[in-house]
Amino acid sequence: MPQPTSEALRRAEHQRLRNRLKQKRHRDRFTTERKQLLARINDLRAVVTRLETRKPPKTSLPWKIIAGGLAQASVESRLTLELLRQRAAALDHLARAMSAWVAAASTKHPLPTGSNVLAWNQVTLHAEPTTRKLGLDWFTQHMYHNTDRILAAAAFPSEGTVRDIAVLGSAADDLLHVLGRIQIVYDAPLWATYAALESKIWRKLRGDTYPWVSQFLDEEMTQSIDAKMVYRRSPMDADESNYYVSREFASDDRIVFLTGNFNQDTLQPVNEMWRPRMFWYTFSTCIRKHLMDMWC
């Protein structure tokens, strides 16, 4: 069995440290809440003591009114308790689901240098609405924040026009990673280039330029995440579908269009066959546009 690399050990130690810090925060919050509750109990005891020393009023409320008030307060208290329990159970379920989801999507095997950004490819999108929404957002955010790493793996920027395909090596997950590169240099400002090509790229991201039909999924959910985001199913045959999520990110000096496909969607037909695909289309600087397609 290969020895874990220093990077793997560092990540493991980082994860352990995060877990310890999280546990410490939970303990500190529990201790603080306990102190507050104990202080509140002491305050209430003092109030009760003061009230008990007072003389009874000349006219007391009828017992039926007191009993009715106590009964109503009891019902409200039980209802509040039940709502809090339901909320706590929902949050616990969400936390467990997302922890398992992120763990399953994390890199488990070393890959050739520069290509470890491709390792987290077997990601399943879950059915529970909150987990599903977080999954769509996390997947596209993860791709976006790895843009610089994939550009470095592709040796971008390069000089002049580039169109080629390279095999990065066979990974420990038994997938062969292939990198396709396209770079075109435009003698135009960044946003002028974007205005000329934005609709063309989005036609590609929506699947309009492919012969396969696209079924758009979770449209309200994706729009609530980002107006420039789509999620679609593109069935290839009875055994294989591509579950593509696409999104656009923009900053002052770079625009990134990206799309990637989930391994499985628990609300959709099961993939018996599957090929992971990830694409980045980037516009960089004010005079250069790098267009890179990557699939593995």
Q: Are residues 147 and 25 in the same domain?
A: no
Residue 109: closest CA among 14, 174, 13: 174
CA 212 to CA 206: how far, in whole Å?
11
Closest of 146, 143, 142, 128 to residue 221, by C-alpha: 128
Q: Looking at the structure, do residues 11 and 76 belong to the same domain, yes or no?
A: yes
Residue 210, domain extent: 137-292
Rounded Cα–Cα distance for residues 63 and 27 (Å): 44
Tell me if 130 is assigned to some domain: no
158 and 273 share a domain? yes
Residue 120 within a domain: no
Question: What CATH number corresponds to the domain at position 241?
Answer: 3.30.530
Indicate whether 123 belongs to any domain: no
Residue 45 neighbours by CB under 8 Å, 6+ apart:
none
Q: Is 243 in contact with 121 (CB distance < 8 Å)? A: no
Is 126 inside a domain boundary?
Answer: no
141 falls within a domain? yes
Whole-model pTM?
0.64
Q: Tell whether 286 and 161 lie within a shared domain.
A: yes
Q: Are residues 164 and 253 located together in one domain of the fold?
A: yes
d(CA 289, CA 284): 5
Quote the number of domains for the chain: 2
The angle subtended at Cα 150 by Cα 14 and Cα 236, nearest 5°, is 110
pLDDT tens sequence for the chain (296 residues): 667 778 777 888 888 888 888 888 888 888 888 888 888 888 888 888 887 777 665 567 777 877 777 788 887 878 887 888 888 887 777 777 777 766 666 655 444 444 455 666 678 898 889 889 999 999 999 999 999 988 888 888 888 788 888 877 655 556 677 888 898 888 888 888 899 999 999 999 999 988 888 999 999 999 999 999 999 999 988 888 999 999 999 998 899 999 999 989 999 988 888 888 899 999 987 444 444 444 33
Of 224, 229, 266, nearest to 128 (Cα)?
Answer: 266
